[in-house]
Copies of this chain bind each other. A is one copy, B any other.
């Protein structure tokens, strides 16, 4: 993996923070506390790893204001070591670019409009009336449908498909296999079979959104599905038609959000959780992993509904009792009544 080399002084000049150590020290790579060696820079963000700090062989560590570092390890002091480390890693690991600007095997429709500096890899397809903004990169085998609008400095990784007429803003990243704008699941029952409900809305994706591999975001049935700016979606997520996700919400992998649900801003949705359709979720809601949200949530906070795992033999007994839980509660009420009567 290519990496640039920087002195600690150059890093401080670019990213701020306070240096405790020799500004001429060179670092080339990021590394974990445990594996770091000479020329590596690491970080300590989670206090539970502080015991690993003493043994690190890193040249430098990005770390909070108060924690002492071992002799021979330079410290870059900052209030948010994880964020600082993210930026430092970006400096040391610049994004690789494709070789050619438009590969000869790319099929760009004559009525598509590509801004200057667009890169298209092998076997890319851009259909009629699509518009791609300055500096965007379409990796190999991506397909951009008719009338799609993609802003500046976006990255579509290999095999991404954007259906017709969807709109993607600036600095959006779509990982391999992501599908934007497939038909929502709209079907109407007619006596003895389903008929399809045309899905004529679009998907609108805001600035700085990142979408994981093989995630699917369906187009709206009538109006649009909306992913606001700064939203981060992990892999294998399903966003159904007419969902609206507020700014800076982050959703972990394997989540499903059903149709027409509106999720607030800065929510954090745990892996493999689900949100039923036609709900409204407030800002700043955290949903735990494997939790199904079946009602609207009006206040921020953490909501959970995962079954606690156990040894199978214990689960068998408890789960069997759970099937009679309402009965059990009724029997407790009877016992209480009986004792109350006796007391009286």
Contacts and interface: CB of A to CB of B under 8 A. Distances in A.
Given A121-B125, A304-B312, A332-B331, A254 B235 contact: no
Interface string A178-216: 010011011111101111111010100000101011101
Contacts of A146: 96
A193 B248 contact: yes
A279 B103 CA distance: 44
Interface string A302-315: 11111111111011
A238 B222 contact: no
A140 B140 contact: no
A312 B308 contact: no
A143 B177 CA distance: 11
Interface in A132-165: 139-141, 143, 145-146, 157-159, 161, 163-165
Tally of this chain's copies: 3
Given A292-B306, A308-B319, A187 B250 contact: yes
Nearest to A256: B254
Interface in A295-344: 301-312, 314-326, 328-329, 331-332, 335-336, 338-339
A118 interface: no
Contacts of A306: 292, 294, 305, 307, 315, 319
Given A185-B234, A216-B235, A200 B89 contact: yes
Nearest to A109: B99
A288 interface: yes
A286 to B, nearest CB: 8
Given A286-B312, A308-B322, A332-B332, 20 more contacts: A30-B200, A32-B223, A80-B188, A141-B141, A143-B159, A159-B161, A185-B212, A193-B248, A234-B238, A238-B254, A253-B256, A254-B256, A256-B271, A256-B272, A271-B276, A303-B310, A308-B320, A320-B326, A321-B329, A339-B339
9 contacts: A83-B190, A85-B188, A123-B123, A177-B179, A194-B232, A194-B248, A216-B236, A302-B311, A339-B339
